Amino acid sequence: MKYSLLIVALSACALVANTPKSTQTIGSYDKMSSIETQVIDIDTKVTSVETQVSNMGSKVTSVEKKLASIESDVKKAKAPNEEQVLKEDSDVRISVVGQGVAPMNTTSPAQAYALAKRAATADAYRLIAEKVKGVRIDGQDLIKNMMVTRSTIRTSVKAMVKNANVVETTFKEGLCEVEMEIVLSHAQFAQ
């Protein structure tokens, strides 16, 4: 009986001695698993950072493209004096704004608008003719006793304008403005 009690006590002691070891192994397993999860998290973070970097790269290329287009626009804007030449493969669009005013003795605002619009249209036609065909200019100065007594400049245009389109008409404070444009193609002038 005594021996059996001793054995039980010993086994109990052994159990007590073994228990911290098992907890230690469980603890090490937990640590391992937590490290693994951390590694997985880092991996996912790395992949997300990589995707962000690739997105940034695409954004940079798009910004570079935009910059190039802006640079070309700036170049075009810097050289406005370049004369447009009619080529076979491209059309030339000419845009003008004609101005006209209504006469003083109109009976209604509607009539004033109609008459001012007619005058503005004529002015726009004249501007198109001037741009396409050119202007004839004559000048005359009369000098008497070493002084200019009369200075005269005469300009004239004669042309036929077809297929001009009215883009916009505005009427403000008695002044009517008609924006008009004409598209010239090489075929129209080919002989």
**Size of the residue set binding other proteins (CB under 8 A):** 34
Nearer to other proteins, 95 or 118 (CB): 118
Q: What SS3 state is found at 144?
A: strand
- CA dist., res. 107 & res. 111, Å (int): 7
Q: Compute the least distance from the CB of residue 118 to other proteins, in Å.
A: 5
Is 10 one of the binding residues for other proteins (CB under 8 A)?
Answer: no
Nearer to other proteins, 160 or 190 (CB): 160
Query: Which range of residues in 14-22, 49-57, 86-94, 126-134 is near other proteins by CB under 8 A?
Result: 126-134
Q: What SS3 state is found at 174?
A: coil
Contacts of 93 (CB under 8 A, 6+ apart): 181, 182, 183, 184
Is 5 one of the binding residues for other proteins (CB under 8 A)?
Answer: no
Give the one residue of 92, 97, 118, 171 binding other proteins; rule: CB under 8 A. Answer: 118
Is 144 one of the binding residues for other proteins (CB under 8 A)?
Answer: no
Is 187 one of the binding residues for other proteins (CB under 8 A)?
Answer: no
Q: Is 184 exposed, middle or buried (0-12, 13-18, 19+ CB in 10 A)?
A: middle
Q: Compute the least distance from the CB of residue 114 to other proteins, in Å.
A: 8
φ, ψ for residue 162 (rounded to 5)?
Answer: -125, 150
DSSP code per residue over 77-118 = HH-TTPPP---SS--EEEEEEEEEE--S--SSHHHHHHHHHH
29-50: burial string, b at 16+ Cβ within 10 Å, e else = eeeeeeeeeeeeeeeeeeeeee
Query: Which range of residues in 7-15, 20-28, 57-65, 150-158 is near other proteins by CB under 8 A?
Result: 150-158
Is 94 one of the binding residues for other proteins (CB under 8 A)?
Answer: no
Is 78 one of the binding residues for other proteins (CB under 8 A)?
Answer: no
**Interface contacts to other proteins, rule CB under 8 A:** 99-103, 114-116, 118-119, 121-123, 125-126, 128-130, 150-164, 166
